[in-house]
Structures are given as structure tokens and as C-alpha cells.
Amino acid sequence: MNQYLFQQLINGLALGSLYALVAIGFSMIYGIVRLINFAHGDLVMIGAFSTLALVTAGVPWPLILVFVLAIGAIAGMTIETIVFRPIRGASQVTGFIATLAVSIAIQNSALMILSGQPRNFLFPAFMRQRVGFGGVNASLTDIAIIVLTLLLIGGLFLVVYRTRLGTAMRATAENLTAARLMGVAVNRTILAAFAIGSALAAVSGLFWGGKFGQIDPLLGFVPGLKAFVACVIGGVGSIGGAMLGGYILGLAEVLFVGLLPQEFSGYRDTFVFLLLIVILLIRPSGLFVRQTEERA
Amino acid sequence: MQTPSQTTSMAETASAPTTPRRGFVAAILTIVVAAAAVWAAQQGLNSYLVTLLALLFINAALAVSLTLTNGLTGLFSLGHPAFMTIGAYVAAILTFSARRKGSMLPGLPDWLASTELSMFPALLIAGLVGGLVALAIGWAVLRLKGHYLAVATLGLIIVVQGLATNWDGITRGGAGLSGLPRHVNIWWALGFLVIVVAITWRIKYSSLGRAMMAVRENELAASCSGINAARLKILAFVIGAVMAAMAGALLAHLISVVTPKTYSVLLAFNIVVMVVIGGSGSITGAIVAATAITVLSEALRPVEESIGLYGMSQVIVALCLIVVLYLKPGGLFGSGEPAFVRRLFSGRKTQ
């Protein structure tokens, strides 16, 4: 295979993995509480800076992964308990504004504490080497991101489809009142969804830092919005759809930059959001989900 | 989009008019008093405070215009900064000195590079272009509901920012256009605020405004009673966008610079906060909240700088919003105007 194309493919899959990890949490939360959670992107930032702090403290890498998952889960549960639970039952728009407020509060608190200066963030040297197979090569970072993401998503599917908690989550997403009547501890289930989704977003922050080498307090905003785009592509509320949407978006973005002339590469984000508007117009329920809910 | 106060607003608009002329006199008197206050401020205050006052007027106008789109018609749009950026760039390109324009902006066609307009026509053209863009976008995006519309308009901000950053020949890229003629002073800002409030007020207390509120409450029921909901939504979106584009143009000529990042998502958030805290649909609320938030963030700025905690004021604004959503989800004034304001300006009896 042609090295250039292969490189683009790996790049797109790695970027898609990052989007997929954020989008899955986004979609889980939407599926259960019908809340577009804009603070979700900021968990990417929290994950990235937690990783930096842990690296500085000298914690070994496998442990860092576990810690970052835990930090993300705790942050997500805190936000849900303090802000979202008290306003549950308010209108969609009220909830949306509240998540926007949480996002702005997190971003600016981070600016206050960490300052706006971007920080360097590097994976250890062995992760940055390139491995070759069959005439093509790719960076170990990208491969690790792709493989670890698949493992995490596999684990998530096991939880959602093979455990009591997962059954409770699917029941709550289907019909919150009915689930409560059947004896599902709804608040605890919602808390668990926030914990899992936020943990995945935080890990994507770890990967984000490793892939791009620089992190700053506002880095979560655009991934947060793009996760929404990924969800819309796959159908908001569906976990598998969000995953596929993330990969499609990552590949589309890389292809857009890779195949068009250099001077168009600045229009990358413009392209993504035009794509969003177009998809919302043609298939508002996403490419893979049958029409169930009124969106347009 | 259900707020408890909406039933009262419907009752209020239904009350019979008594002396329309009294409301007109009250409005003129208010404008005269405001003008006198501005004149006094110009004499007594330093130029920083006068500029701040002008900024406050423009912010209030922005909040009121968003009240028309978001509050009355119930379209949850976050697109204001996108239209402000469009308006600011259009006006800036038109007013920029023709001597420097050709070399700075090589992408401009000759007839544009050689024109140099004064503020008033540039402002009108900015509003017109903003309105046309809103018409095109609105036709596509307004079929979406609730937070889908919100995210699509948020995306619009990023699309416009991307264009402004990358279309070097026309916009000078990320550096933006600086050294714009400082055409706008506090009188422009006051005049703009008065016009925006007058138009919004007239719309709110007319059959058009009642139709908008009907669409907000229940689109299906409104359509069934003969309201063309699609056209009405586009109309509200376009009017809001025209006002936003003009506000962007004015602001750019007040601070004499515009960059792709001048009007950001943060601004969208702040305007929405003003509308939500004031009570969506309430003109008085929008003005009060815009004043409070502008003054609060300016007052906190020196504190922020002295202790080196940048971003603190924004955190406080966000926390204020969360507290208001928590305690008074309908905002301070709900969807209506406080009784004394209504009595004063509409010349109508209140129940």
C-alpha cells in the first residue's frame, strides 16, 4: 500500500478514535437524560492536564491511564450531582444553557489556575518511534491510540449489554419513568452514565496530548462541538452510532486536509460544521438510525 | 420552553389600549432624559468611562435583539456573534481608507477597493448583508428545533470565524483589520439602542408579536390558527441578525479594530446569559441584565488583573447564571415587562 495513503488512514483512524471516545459519552448522556452536555468537551481538557500532572509526579504510564479514567469519572459525577441533578425536569433549553455555563466556568477556572499558556506534553520516546510493516510505517502513538480505544469501547459494550448496570442504563434511556417504576435506581444509573462517559472523555484527553504534543485550558471546546457532530452523523443517543460517527468524522477531516490543495487546510473546521448543517438537513436522525424522534 | 410567566404575558398583551399618545410622550421624555444623562456623562466622566457606557448601550441593544429571536419567538439561536462578525467586516471594508485598502486587501475587486463610505451607509449595508446571510442560513437551519438549532448556530460562528481567518485577500486573516476610522461615539450607540428597543417593543405589542409568541408556545396550534410559522421564524431570525450585524459594525468602529476572534462563542454565551437572567421575552429584563453584566465584568477586571486570576469574572457570570436558573428559571422579569414600565410606555391599562 502507498505510504501516503496509509499514513492518512492511520491519522484519520487515530483522530476518529479521539472523537469517538468523546462522542460516546456525549451520546450516552443524551440518551439517558436528553441533555446536550457542552461541559463534556472540557473533560478532555481535564484529562489532558491530569495526565500532565501525573507525569510530572513520576507515576508510571499504565497507572496513569487508570488514574485518568478515575479522575474523569469523579469530575463527571461531581458536575452531574452539583449542577444537573437540581435542574432535572427543566426545559431542554434551560438544561442546555446550564451545561454551557458549566463549560464556561470550567474553562475560565482552568485559565485562572493554569494560565492560558500552552504546555508541552510528550509521550515517552519509545511511543514516538515509528514501526514499519510491509513497506509502510506509522507512529506507535497513533497505533496505541487506535488499539486502546478499541479495547475501551469493547469494554464499554460489555458493560452496556452484559451487566445489570448496562440493562438499567438501557431501560432508563428507553423510558425513565417506566424504569423507575420497575425498581431501577434511576439517579444512580444516571450517575453511572456520567461517570463512564466522562472517564472516556478524560482518556481521550490523555491521547489528545500525546498526539498533538501541546495542551491548553481551552482545548476541550472544539472536540466537544465535534463530538456533537459525530453524534449527529451516527444518530444522537446511540452508542454504536456515536462511535461510527467519530471514525467517519476523523477520516473525513483528514481526507479533506490530505486530498485538497494546501491552501484549503485552514478551512478544516469550517468544513466540519458545514457537514453538520448539511447532515442535519438531509438526515436529522443520523445516517444509521431510523427516524424516531422529532428534531427538525 | 415552558416558563411559568408566559401565561401572564399573553394576558398583558390582550389588555385594551387607552391612550397610545401618552406612551409616545413617555418614550420621547425617556429619550430626552437619557440624552441629557449622556451629555452630562460626556462632560463629567473620562473617555474610558464614556466608551464603557457606549459599550453598555450596544450590549443592551444586542440583548434586546436576541430577546426578539430567542425570547419572543422561542428560536434558541446562538448565532449573534456570526452576524456581528459579518456586519463588522462588511462595514470595516467599506469605511477603510481607500488609499491603504488596495495594498492591504489585495483580494478586493477594484470598485470596492476604491470606495470609502461614511459610517451611516456602511452601517445600513452591513445590516443588509447580515440580513441576507441570515435569510439564506435561516431557510436551512430554522427547520431544526431546540438545542439542534443552538448547535447549528454555534457551528455557524465557527464557519464564519474560519472564513474570516482564512480568506486573507479580503479580511487580512487572523491579524484582522486594525486602525479603522473611529466613526462611532456614544451618541451612535444611544441612537442604536433607542431604535432597537423601539422596534422590538412595537413588534412585541402588535399582532406580529402575538403571532411570534403563539409560535413559541405551540407551533402546531399556531399553524392551525392560520399563522405561517415558517415565515414568521425566518422573519424573527433575520430581524435579530440585521440588528446583530449593525451592532457588530458599530462596535468595530467604536474600538477601531475587528479580528476573527473579536466576537466569539463567549460573547454568544454572555448575550444569552443577559436574555436568560432578564427573562426571555422581557425587553426591560434584557436591558437590566445587560447593564448588570457589563458593569460587573468591567468592575471585576481590575480585581482580576491585580491578583492575576484572569477569567475570574467570566466564572462569576457563569455561576450567577446557574444560580438564576436554579432559583428563578423564568428569569428576573419572566416574559413580560414590569407593571410600571408597561403603564408608562404603552399607555395601556394593566389588570
Nearest residue in chain A measured CA to CA from B160:
A270
B318–A274 CB contact, under 8 Å: no
Looking at residue B347, what is its pLDDT? 55
Cβ-based contacts of A96 with chain B (< 8 Å):
76, 146-147, 150
Q: What is the residue extent of each domain of chain A?
A: 3-126+135-282
Mean pLDDT for A21-40 is 90
Nearest residue in chain A measured CA to CA from B326:
A87
The average confidence (pLDDT) of chain A is 87
B1–A93 CB contact, under 8 Å: yes
Looking at residue B1, what is its pLDDT? 41
Give the β-pairing of B257-258 and B177-178: antiparallel
Looking at residue B348, what is its pLDDT? 53
Mean pLDDT for A228-246 is 87
Minimal CA separation from A57 to chain B, in Å:
25
Residue closest to A72 by CA, chosen among A135, A13, A24, A136: A24
pLDDT along chain B (351 residues), means of 10: 44 48 79 85 83 91 91 87 94 84 76 81 94 89 78 88 84 80 87 93 90 90 90 93 95 89 87 86 90 88 78 84 82 79 64 38
B141, B148, B329: residue with CB nearest A90? B329
A104–B269 CB contact, under 8 Å: yes
Nearest residue in chain A measured CA to CA from B327:
A87
Helical (H) or strand (E) element with B178: strand B177-178
Higher-confidence position of A16 and A257: A16
B166–A267 CB contact, under 8 Å: yes
Looking at residue A292, what is its pLDDT? 52
The H-assigned helical ranges of B114-228 are: 119-141, 146-166, 168-171, 186-204, 207-217, 219-224
Q: In CATH, which of 1.10.3470, 2.40.10, 2.60.40, 1.10.10 is domain A3-126+135-282?
A: 1.10.3470
Helix, strand or coil, per DSSP, at residue B143 = coil
Residue A30 predicted with pLDDT over 60: yes
**Burial code of A266-294, b = ≥16 C-beta within 10 A, e = fewer?**
bbebbbbbbbbbebbeebbbbeebeeeee
Q: Which residues, in sequence order, are bridge partners of residue B257?
A: B178
Q: If interface means Cβ-Cβ distance under 8 Å, which residues of chain B face chain A?
A: 1-3, 76, 140-141, 143-148, 150-152, 154-156, 158-159, 162-163, 165-166, 265-266, 269, 272-273, 276, 309-312, 314-315, 317-319, 321-322, 325-326, 329
Mean pLDDT for A148-155 is 94
Q: Which residues contact B58 (CB under 8 A, 6 or more apart)?
A: B189, B192, B193, B247, B250, B251, B254
Specify whether the CB–CB gap between A99 and B154 falls below 8 A. no
Name the percent of chain A lying above pLDDT 70. 97
Minimal CA separation from A291 to chain B, in Å:
14
Read off the pLDDT of residues A108-128 as tens digits, 9 standing for 90 and up: 899 888 887 888 887 777 777
Distance CA B216, CA A91 (A): 13
Predicted confidence band of residue A221 (pLDDT cuts 50, 70, 90) = confident
Looking at residue B58, what is its pLDDT? 93
Nearest residue in chain B measured CA to CA from A227:
B151
Specify whether the CB–CB gap between B63 and B275 falls below 8 A. yes
A102, A225, A280: residue with CB nearest B154? A225
Cβ-based contacts of B151 with chain A (< 8 Å):
36, 225, 228, 276
- Helices then strands, counting H and E runs in chain A, come out as 12, 4
- Output Rg (C-alpha) for chain A, integer angstroms: 19
Specify whether the CB–CB gap between A153 and A243 falls below 8 A. yes
